[in-house]
Amino acid sequence: MRSFLVAVIALMSTNASAVEQTFPADGGVVYFNMPSGNVGCQYTPAGGSDVYMPEDGGPELGCDRIEPAYQRFILGKSGKAKRYQNVGDTGCCDGSHTLKYGNSWKKGPFSCEATKAGLSCNRDDGHGFFISRSKTEIH
């Protein structure tokens, strides 16, 4: 019984510390990174920004993973996420805004959760992706 109570208290304290983080927008664009520095994301609002227009007009969430092989994941306003393995502009993860492990982020139709296992991002309709050093998935 004691070990059950300890497990319940640990679970409650883990969930109690999880918060939804927000980050400042630069021209409507939001950037954040994982604590590992291996994954970084960019949210672009509908209509794009001064320097970038999403293929479908936006909104768009794009996340890059550096290691073990550079990959980019793009989740647009509809359809499944896309994975790009031959990325010409590899400029990920400057570390200015960190989505802490156990916390979440939400903007427009997108939400992400950071855990030590990796980053999971979804659009409101359930389409999304999971990124970690050891595996990636599109769902």
Q: H helices within the chain, ranges in order?
A: 2-17
Give 106-123 pLDDT, tens digit per residue. 999 999 999 999 999 999
CB 124 within 8 A of CB 77: no
**Which DSSP symbol is given to 98?**
B
Token pair for 57: 């007009």
Give 51-70 pLDDT, tens digit per residue. 999 999 999 999 999 999 99
- Omega prior to 68 cis, within 30 of 0: yes
- Note the pLDDT of residue 13: 39
H/E segment holding residue 104: strand 104-107
pTM, rounded to two decimals? 0.85
| Residue owning tokens 């990636």 | 136
